[in-house]
A and B are shown apart, each in its own frame.
Chain A
Amino acid sequence: MTILGPILLVGFLVGAIWLGQQEEKDLEILVLDDTYVLSNTLMQSEKYHLTSSQDEGIENIDDGKTFLKERDKYDIFLYLPANIVSGNASVAKLFYKDAPSSNVQRHLENIIDGSIERLRIKELDISNEDYARLKNKVQLHTIDVISNEEKNVGMRAGVGFIFGLMIYMFIFMYGIQVMKGVIEEKSNRIVEVIVSSVKPFELMMGKIIGIMFVGLTQFVIWVMLSLALTTVLSLTVFPDMMNPENVAQTNQIEQVAVGLTVEPVNSDITETSKEFQDLIFNQIPWGLMIGLFIFYFIGGYLLYGSLMAAVGAAVDSETDTQQFILPITAPLIFGYIVAAMAIDNPNSLAVEWCSQIPFTSPIVMLVRVSMGAEGLGWAIVLSMSLLIATFIGTTWVAGRIYRTGILMYGKKASYKEMFKWLRHK
């Protein structure tokens, strides 16, 4: 799984991109234009070949439909009714044999809109220059007033969320593994031999920390292999996959369709990629983020891992774990939801609270930090201290439950009973 994981991951990614490219095949489109004015101004493009219905001798919509149905020549039959040029919310009809993608639909809508726009420009007697002045596009650049830096809030929160997501997955996967390990040792009774050599607490901590290092190793291998594979693939098989021009292509299409691009298209793309580079290299406080990531990664895992170990010790088999697992995973899932919410609204009260509560802070805090650590100093220190105090507490509780639980066979412990175990000498 260690090696296979990243290969599968990159494989799926490449496969998805490949499939996405496959879909964009050339389309033959038959157009029946009842307005008689639009079809001459419809823009042709490399992938969309428009043919006027007159060329095929088709006069009405039914003939067009039959022609599309019975002949293989066209993929799509586009019908533009006469009233399409009059209103603001006009309707055209698209007949198909194989359902067109949303990309195709959007593209055709743009082509038609472009034609109508051009028609109206002519009607209103507006020059192209005047029209270009009408078309305006505002971009909001967000600037932090304290550091006086320009920041892309949304993208930064996204980066923080990815960190939080990784911690969430790590806690889940390896926490469950701790529980399974404890159940295995308990159910095959080897635990009795081992606790005659080491203290139960040592055994439990050994298990938790051992699995943590397995996880970290696996994690580092995953990240490195994934990076290496994507780099190799993007250099060889898909040389233009990572090119920002491709990323910006969708925007480009819209402008081309209008056909009235005044500014050079490239300025927008370079803007996007520059912004992205700025985000990656200048805006994210990487040193702090990675430091905190490792801290919350380990702290969160120790907190949940110890609780999972206690659950494993309290039951006889995995089927009995349900009632104990739910209260443990609920705050974890809640933290994930709050972290997802934080992308849109990083300063909400929920985010502030959850970045302090130790059961959710490992996931939520990084989203907050990614938005800028300025002014967060005390909050980070408090959150970290709370996490440390709590995992020491949960480890102590877990140690007590574990010590008694691993030697109890044949009965499922209740919460009441586990509470009693806490007070055993």
Chain B
Amino acid sequence: MTNETPIFEAKNIVKEYSGHRALDSVSIKVPKQSIFGLLGPNGAGKTSLIRIINQITAPDSGEILINGKPLKREHISQIGYLPEERGLYKKMKIGEQAVYLARLKGMPKKEAKQELMLWFKKFEIDTWWNKTVDELSKGMAQKIQFITTVVHRPKLLILDEPFSGFDPINTNLVKSEILKLRDEGATIILSTHNMESVEEICDNIALINNSKKILGGKVSEIKKQFSEDKYIIEFKGTGVAFANAVWGGWEMINNEQIGEQHASATIKLTGGTKLNDFLKGIINAVEILSVQKVIPSMNEIFIRCVEQSLKMEESAVTNENTIQNG
């Protein structure tokens, strides 16, 4: 991360709803012109945070900074928001309501119309201008909503589950539009359960569970942090020869015979064994074809972190109980 002021920063945000703490001192930083993944299981507090960013609700304590300055109402025109629960006026003509929503964000009518037409053409829906939402399928309505979110060229885009409800083709279309928007200067906060898309397009992430941030940082760094000494080794020779070549300092996780003299093994190095030393040991027994480090998917990291924090909480509860009982 550079030392440049982040476009968005949340500092120690706390939000409570009638006794229930939805956000517990959550802090995130989103660098300019990046895609930020806001991850977490359902009910973790993502929507609460997003609503605070959109000034729909105010935090009980904590601070939100946009370009280093406190968040104010005049920032509204710089923010675009696509909520998870989509909705449009069902009986109103699509073009009209798109213009209306753009004007709410401070766009002049004429400009809004022109820009919208461009977007409608890009999404190949320019013939829908005078239709009503009732006449459209769910996926079609999603497109309209995506357009109304980005038409006023917001500097900060908040997309809550932007890919849900799209078929693979349109998912790609939206994905490439998001990347294009970033390249053009926008910063995007993406809340999603779709871990594949996180790996594909996110630069940074924050993982929120049970109203606390439990993980955050650059995607590449997090992956490195979570990768263990696991390797997939493909070789010519038999599994038995491979297994007997080196004694100790590693364990076999998986072993697969591909052909008669062709196999692949997934191993984990233990006790500080260096990969080089291990390879030296087996190089005489089998012919190594390839060696590849196993990098955990975001999906694995997500599940591992959430489960871990769950266990920690459970033990905390047990401790509390023990103290009370004792």
Q: Is the CB of B58 within 8 A of A407?
A: no
Give the docked Cα–Cα distance between A191 and B81 (Å): 12
Q: Is B79 an interface residue (CB 8 A)?
A: yes
Among B57, B73, B145, B149, max chain A CB count under 10 A is at B57
Q: Is B223 an interface residue (CB 8 A)?
A: no
Stretch at the interface among B37-45, B83-91, B314-322: B83-91
Stretch at the interface among A170-178, A195-203, A233-241: A195-203
Give the docked Cα–Cα distance between A143 and B89 (Å): 58
Query: B13 → chain A, closest Cβ, in Å?
Result: 15
Query: B255 → chain A, closest Cβ, in Å?
Result: 50
Q: Is the CB of B87 within 8 A of A198?
A: no
Determine the interface band of chain A, counting residues with CB < 8 A from chain B: 10 to 19
Q: Is the CB of A196 within 8 A of B85?
A: no
Stretch at the interface among B48-56, B194-202, B227-235, B265-273: B48-56
Contact of B89 among A188, A196, A200, A420 (CB under 8 A): A188
Contact of A194 among B73, B86, B104 (CB under 8 A): B104
Q: Is the CB of B88 within 8 A of A407?
A: no
Q: Is the CB of B81 within 8 A of A193?
A: yes
Q: Is B29 an interface residue (CB 8 A)?
A: no
Q: DSSP class of B's interface residues: helix, strand, loop or mixed?
A: loop
Q: Which residues of B contact A135 (CB under 8 A)?
A: none
Q: Is the CB of B85 within 8 A of A192?
A: yes
Q: Is B18 an interface residue (CB 8 A)?
A: yes
- In chain B between 115 and 154, which residues have their CB closer than 8 angstroms to a CB of chain A? 145, 148-149
- In chain A between 141 and 192, which residues have their CB closer than 8 angstroms to a CB of chain B? 184-185, 188-192
Q: Which residues of A contact B89 (CB under 8 A)?
A: 184-185, 188, 190
Closest to B92 in A: A190
Contact of B83 among A185, A189, A200, A420 (CB under 8 A): A189
Query: B133 → chain A, closest Cβ, in Å?
Result: 9
In the complex with contacts A189-B83, A192-B56, A197-B88 CB distance below 8 A:
no
Q: Which residues of A contact B79 (CB under 8 A)?
A: 196
Query: A405 → chain B, closest Cβ, in Å?
Result: 13
Closest to A187 in B: B87
Closest to B100 in A: A194
Q: Is the CB of B18 within 8 A of A420?
A: yes
Q: Is A425 an interface residue (CB 8 A)?
A: yes
Give the docked Cα–Cα distance between A193 and B51 (Å): 10
Q: Which residues of A contact B51 (CB under 8 A)?
A: 407
Contact of B56 among A189, A190, A196, A420 (CB under 8 A): A196
Q: Is the CB of B86 within 8 A of A197?
A: no
Give the docked Cα–Cα distance between A302 and B277 (Å): 82
Closest to B73 in A: A199
In the complex with contacts A188-B88, A188-B90, A425-B58, A193-B76 CB distance below 8 A:
no
Query: A197 → chain B, closest Cβ, in Å?
Result: 4
In the complex with contacts A195-B56, A196-B81, A420-B18, A189-B104 CB distance below 8 A:
no
In the complex with contacts A193-B81, A198-B104, A420-B18, A188-B58 CB distance below 8 A:
no
Q: Is the CB of A189 within 8 A of B81?
A: no
- Chain A, residues 104-147, CB within 8 Å of chain B (1/0): the string is 00000000000000000000000000000000000000000000
Give the docked Cα–Cα distance between A230 and B242 (Å): 104
Q: Which residues of B contact A195 (CB under 8 A)?
A: 54, 56
- Chain A, residues 51-82, CB within 8 Å of chain B (1/0): the string is 00000000000000000000000000000000
Query: A251 → chain B, closest Cβ, in Å?
Result: 54
Determine the interface band of chain B, counting residues with CB < 8 A from chain A: 20 to 34
Q: Is the CB of A407 within 8 A of B56?
A: yes
- In chain B between 75 and 116, which residues have their CB closer than 8 angstroms to a CB of chain A? 76, 79, 81, 83, 85-90, 101, 104-105
Query: A12 → chain B, closest Cβ, in Å?
Result: 29
Q: Is the CB of B88 within 8 A of A196?
A: no
Give the docked Cα–Cα distance between A261 and B58 (Å): 84
Q: Is the CB of B81 within 8 A of A190?
A: no
Among A189, A200, A420, max chain B CB count under 10 A is at A189
Among A184, A188, A199, max chain B CB count under 10 A is at A188
Query: A399 → chain B, closest Cβ, in Å?
Result: 15
Closest to A198 in B: B104
Q: Is the CB of B90 within 8 A of A193?
A: no
Closest to B103 in A: A197
Q: Is the CB of B104 within 8 A of A188?
A: no
Q: Which residues of B contact A198 (CB under 8 A)?
A: 104
Q: Is the CB of B55 within 8 A of A193?
A: no
Give the docked Cα–Cα distance between A413 and B145 (Å): 29
Q: Which residues of B contact A420 (CB under 8 A)?
A: 18
Query: A86 → chain B, closest Cβ, in Å?
Result: 75
Q: Is the CB of B54 within 8 A of A190?
A: no
- In chain A between 391 and 425, which residues have their CB closer than 8 angstroms to a CB of chain B? 407, 409, 420, 425
Contact of A196 among B58, B76, B86, B145 (CB under 8 A): B76
Query: A371 → chain B, closest Cβ, in Å?
Result: 45
Q: Which residues of B contact A407 (CB under 8 A)?
A: 51, 56-57
Q: Is the CB of B86 within 8 A of A189?
A: yes
Query: B191 → chain A, closest Cβ, in Å?
Result: 13
Q: Is the CB of B58 within 8 A of A197?
A: no
Give the docked Cα–Cα distance between A189 and B90 (Å): 11
Give the docked Cα–Cα distance between A12 and B215 (Å): 72
Give the docked Cα–Cα distance between A264 and B101 (Å): 73
Q: Is the CB of A196 within 8 A of B55?
A: yes
Query: A147 → chain B, closest Cβ, in Å?
Result: 54
Q: Is the CB of A193 within 8 A of B101?
A: yes
Give the docked Cα–Cα distance between A39 and B255 (Å): 126
Give the docked Cα–Cα distance between A194 and B54 (Å): 10
- Chain B, residues 24-66, CB within 8 Å of chain A (1/0): the string is 0000000000000000000000000001001111101000000
Q: Which residues of B contact A409 (CB under 8 A)?
A: 85
Contact of B87 among A190, A197, A199, A425 (CB under 8 A): A190
Q: Which residues of A contact B101 (CB under 8 A)?
A: 193-194, 197
Query: A156 → chain B, closest Cβ, in Å?
Result: 44
Q: Is the CB of B85 within 8 A of A189?
A: yes
- Chain A, residues 299-330, CB within 8 Å of chain B (1/0): the string is 00000000000000000000000000000000
Contacts A/B (CB < 8 Å), 19 sampled:
A185-B89, A188-B88, A188-B90, A189-B85, A189-B87, A192-B87, A193-B87, A193-B101, A193-B148, A193-B149, A195-B54, A195-B56, A196-B56, A196-B76, A196-B79, A199-B73, A200-B56, A407-B56, A425-B58
Task: Give the 10 A-B residue pairs with the shortest CB-CB distance, closest first.
Answer: A189-B87, A188-B87, A196-B54, A197-B104, A189-B85, A190-B87, A192-B83, A196-B81, A195-B56, A197-B105
Known contacts A184-B90, A192-B83, A193-B148; 6 additional CB pairs below 8 A are: A192-B81, A193-B83, A193-B149, A195-B56, A196-B56, A197-B104
